[in-house]
Amino acid sequence: MDASVVARLLEQTARAVYEERGPKAIHAGQWAVLRYLARAGRKACTVGDVATYLGVTHAPASRAVASLARKDYVTVKADPEDRRVRRVDLTVTGLALLDQDPVHKLTDAIDSLSKEKKKDLAAMLETLYARLAKNA
């Protein structure tokens, strides 16, 4: 199979995870922010840390966080020790929303694979990611 066909298939698979579109939808980057905040420790929940995690500059991370704040999924407050730092916390609504995370569909699809196929898939994705990250 041609590599470009496989690449398009991988792209379509990633898009299929995030079916919902439109201005009110939560986009892939915003879901990544919610997941990060759910896992991160209190000290790691700043807009700067979100940017580092996403591998983007401060501006797009700030826009993603602001969009989530407008939807009441996160709160953003100045750090009491350093007013330049903006702390980001999940709200109860944001935490509950993670139960509807579209990545659960992908997890379910992967779980349906045999143990050997999961291992092969993980190895292939790790190799692809390493090559892409090396070129970034």
- Which residue has 């379910």 as its token pair? 108
In which domain, by residue range, is 65 found?
Answer: 28-99
Residue 130 belongs to a domain: no
Strands 74-78 and 86-90, sheet pairing: antiparallel
**Per-residue confidence at 83, pLDDT binned at 50, 70, 90?**
confident
Residue 49 belongs to a domain: yes
Cα–Cα distance, 10 to 37 (Å, whole number) = 27
Residue 122 belongs to a domain: no
pLDDT in tens, 53-65: 999 999 999 999 9
Query: What pLDDT, on a 0 to 100 scale, did the predictor assign at position 136?
Result: 62
Cα–Cα distance, 46 to 29 (Å, whole number) = 16
Whether the CA torsion 13, 62, 55, 71 is positive or negative: it is negative
Residue 86 belongs to a domain: yes
Residue 105 belongs to a domain: no
**Per-residue confidence at 116, pLDDT binned at 50, 70, 90?**
very high
- Calculate mean pLDDT across residues 79-97: 90
Cα–chain-centroid distance for residue 34?
7
Residue 91 belongs to a domain: yes
- Calculate mean pLDDT across residues 127-136: 84
The total domain count for the chain is: 1
Q: Within 13 A of 41's CA, how many CA atoms are on the CB side?
A: 2
Three-class SS of residue 113? coil
Q: Which of 116, 117, 62 is nearest to 85 (CA)?
A: 62
pLDDT in tens, 6-19: 899 988 988 888 87
**Per-residue confidence at 23, pLDDT binned at 50, 70, 90?**
low
Does 38 score more than 70 pLDDT? Answer: yes
Q: Which of 38, 84, 46, 81 is nearest to 65 (CA)?
A: 46
Residue 34 belongs to domain with CATH number:
1.10.10.10
